[in-house]
Amino acid sequence: MKKIIENLTRLFFLLMAILISNTLQAQDILDKLSQSQKEAKSTTKEGLEIFFGYMDIALAMVIGGWAVISWRASKRSDSEDGESFNLLSFAMTKLGAIGGYILIRVVALQLVS
């Protein structure tokens, strides 16, 4: 009987050592996954910031082009109706597109933050 109890005790402690070892390995894996997730999030945020930087430049070029085209069109039509180019009215017509872009940018950057 004493031999059986000793064997069961050894078996119990062996199983506990295996469980503790597996728990430590699992914790190590979870830590590595957490670190990888943080790195991926950081990389994604940097990529989005670069992408939106280029989009800002492109949007500025498009809006500038729109402004020049509108200004040139108003110069041609000045003699007909007397109305000159109005930057405020031009900006108001493009406000929806600019506001939509800003909203998309803010939401996208908040999702990765």
pLDDT tens column, 51-109: 999 999 998 898 888 888 877 877 766 555 555 667 777 777 788 888 888 899 899 88
Looking at residue 36, its amino acid is S
Can you list the pairs that 49-54 forms with residues at least 24 positions away whose Cβ atoms lie under 8 Å?
49/109, 52/105, 52/108, 52/109
* Inter-residue contact 45 to 112 (CB < 8 Å): yes
pTM for the full predicted model: 0.60
- At 44-65, the pLDDT tens digits run 989 999 999 999 999 889 888 8
pLDDT of residue 13: 92
Which tokens hold the place of 68?
């020049």
* Tokens, residue 70: 């509108």
d(CA 60, CA 97): 12
Beta strands in 12-59 (DSSP E): none
| Span 18-35, average pLDDT | 93
